[in-house]
Structure 1
Amino acid sequence: MKLTEAEMRMVFQIESTNQNAALNEIYMTWRYAPNQAVKETAESLLDKLRSLSDQECMDLICKVQAEYRLPEKARTIGEMLAEARQQSGAQKLSGHDIMALERFDPATRHMIVFDVLTHDSPVGWKGEKMRLFLTDAGYSKALENQEKGHIKIRSHAKVLSGDLHYDHKDRER
């Protein structure tokens, strides 16, 4: 599929990890676009991506995000974050974004990064790597699911007022 420069620039910034979420992200860009050119780019991109299967759509997004280079210096926060993620080679995680609102909820006490090991897992799909911000009760359930073999917790951080305090120096984010 052939994408224009503006479409590639928009795809480069997508944070989502599945087609529906990516389409919603582009739709929100279209809805709140500051000018007509951005609206037209988003509309054209929506038309192209809707015709693809979930796997084809995510393969295209991953390919653009791995190979695309901004023609000039990053202009937006989204472009700067996308560029930093590309340069670091960091894997996108399913679940909560690192700056998700859940992180700043006063009841949130834990952040975990984990692998989903089984199809029976109550959260995620087998093979996914996820990040979640949890209350104490949610963290207890995560530990139970790890004991049952559904997930493998790779990293844990205590959360205090949105600040992350990792358990180990060799942390995954």
Structure 2
Amino acid sequence: MRFIGVECFADQYFFGRLIMNKDFIRKERNDTEVIRGITERGRDNFSIGIIDIDKNKKIPAGYIEVFTSDNTTIYKHQVNCQFLMLVGPRQFEHWIKKFLTDSDKKAEDFGYDDFNDFMEDSKSLKPEKSYRFKSVMDFVFENYEANDNHIHLMKKHLDYLIDKQYKFDKDEFLSI
């Protein structure tokens, strides 16, 4: 039962850990395939697509914005129970960098030469096999619940959507 589509292996690893069920996550080839996966292949089913804000995304027809913040924008299909989540600023790695910065950390604290080195590592075929990448992720997962931040809110949003699925209520969702 894979109903959350993501665009890269780093996303697959991260969001699998975030929702504590990697079986829900489906890795697609790219952001276009994530969107296609929820709009075409998942048309009659509950589904979520998580993509980067890194480009001028064309949101498919029929989707309306239900939530926005500095780091996340969430769209829902007007009729179907399908959601599109855009994380940023820019790419997933910048989304993580924002958390690190807010926590007074940087990529260098985890053995990287700089942020670009972290980005290259996360773009590798299996980033979860990198000790440094896993160290960053471990830090995030050990600390995201400590205060209000974009990752903690994303966790709450995903938990709500997975729990409610077809019983989505916008007012309830926004009160999270």
Asked whether the two chains share a fold, i.e. TM above 0.5, the reply is no
Give the TM-score, by structure 1 length: 0.28
Give the TM-score, by structure 2 length: 0.28
More helix by share: 2
Computing the radius of gyration over CA atoms, which structure comes out larger, 1 or 2?
Answer: 1
